[in-house]
């Protein structure tokens, strides 16, 4: 699963004209494949969902009806230092508004729960992909799957109105 994902990222990168959004389909497929392999039912991923009270995260992971699992904010694979992104106003807003958020540059993944970083890992080295123009080997597969297990174990009810809240 991760080997194919990294190869797909590399193929897109090697085209030479990719933007951040060009990689979204690969991340979506990775998360859906993980959910399918773990037999997690009713996983829907919305790429570029409608604006929320905190802004526009790149992905919303939910059951397609009422329960939101979490949000994913992706940065271009050329972004090498997610520490700087972590301290931006945008990510601070997401971390304070959404209780389950992943920040990624498609190679490194950071999971935040209730605003706090609880887990991070990387699955490949972007320097190999970008400088050597070859697919990096898979790294930290176990840690990555543990991070996704934690992400998918969270569920937030999706409530749109005060009336809906009163009925719950």
Assess if residue 105 is contained within a domain: yes
Would 165 be classed as within a structural domain? no
Q: Give the range of the structural domain holding residue 34, as residue numbers without chain letter.
A: 2-157
Asked whether residue 163 is assigned to any structural domain, the reply reads no
DSSP the chain: -HHHHHHHHHHHHHTS---GGGGHHHHHHHHHHHHHHTT--S-EEEESPPPBTTB--SEEEE-SSSEEEEEEEE--TT---HHHHHTSHHHHHHHHH-SEEEEESSSEEEEEETTEEEEEEESS-HHHHHHS-SPPPP--HHHHHHHHHHHHT--EE---SHHHHHH-
Read off the pTM. 0.89
Residue 167 belongs to some domain of the structure: no
Which CATH number belongs to the domain containing residue 108 in this structure? 3.90.1570
How many domains does the chain contain in total?
1
Let me know if residue 168 belongs to a domain.
no
What is the average pLDDT across 151-156?
A: 82
Residue 70 counted as domain residue: yes
**162 part of a folded domain:** no
Does residue 141 belong to any structural domain of this protein? yes
Structure confidence at residue 138 (pLDDT): 98
The predicted-structure confidence for 34-66, as pLDDT tens digits, reads as follows 999 999 989 999 999 988 888 899 999 998 888
Give 58-97 pLDDT, tens digit per residue: 999 998 888 899 999 999 999 989 999 999 999 999 999 9
Query: Which pLDDT score, from 0 to 100, does residue 165 have?
Result: 52
Q: How many CB atoms lie within 10 A of CB 97?
A: 15
Sign of CA dihedral 63, 69, 71, 72: negative
* Structure confidence at residue 52 (pLDDT): 85
């Amino acid at each position: 699963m991760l080997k194919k994902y990294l190869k797909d990222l590399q193929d897109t990168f090697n085209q030479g004209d990719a933007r951040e959004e060009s990689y979204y389909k690969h991340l979506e497929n990775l998360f859906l494949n993980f959910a399918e392999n773990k037999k997690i039912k009713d996983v829907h991923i919305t790429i570029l969902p409608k604006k929320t009270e905190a802004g526009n995260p790149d992905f919303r992971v939910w059951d397609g009806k009422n329960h939101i699992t979490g949000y994913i904010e992706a940065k271009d694979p050329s972004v090498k230092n997610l520490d700087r992104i972590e301290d931006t106003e945008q990510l601070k807003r997401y971390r304070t508004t959404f209780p389950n958020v992943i920040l990624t540059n498609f190679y490194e993944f950071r999971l935040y729960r209730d605003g706090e970083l609880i887990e991070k890992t990387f699955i490949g080295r972007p320097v190999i992909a970008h400088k050597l123009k070859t697919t990096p080997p898979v790294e930290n597969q176990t840690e990555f799957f543990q991070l996704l297990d934690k992400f998918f174990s969270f569920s937030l009810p999706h409530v749109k109105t005060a009336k809906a809240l009163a009925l719950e």
